[in-house]
Amino acid sequence: METRTEIQVRFTDQERDGLAALAAGLRGVAEADLTEEDALVAALELALTRLIDDFEVPDPAARAQVQRARDNLRANWIRGSATL
């Protein structure tokens, strides 16, 4: 069963341009019709992965939360080829 939560996010013009460019780049790489929403989820997955692989999160509880969130995101991945 799929659940979704709607969140309102406010972007600057530059951030919006960056998100649009990320979506366009992912569409080209994945050869799929990905949305900006897909691109944002892909960026979130990459950020969580970078925290796990490239940085030492000092708080053990925060580190465990990051790992669980990334693993859960991947286990329930509905975004198809939207990955970085």
pLDDT tens-digit readout, 46-73 = 999 999 999 989 999 999 999 999 998 8
pLDDT of 38 > 80? The answer is: yes
pLDDT of 15 > 90? The answer is: yes
Instruction: Give the CA dihedral 43, 66, 71, 82, nearest 10 degrees.
Output: 0
Q: Would you kindly state where each structural domain of the chain is located, as residue ranges?
A: 13-76
| 66 within 8 A of 48, measured Cβ to Cβ | yes
Query: Can you state the angle between helices 60-75 and 36-54, rounded to 10 degrees?
Result: 140
What is this structure's pTM?
A: 0.78
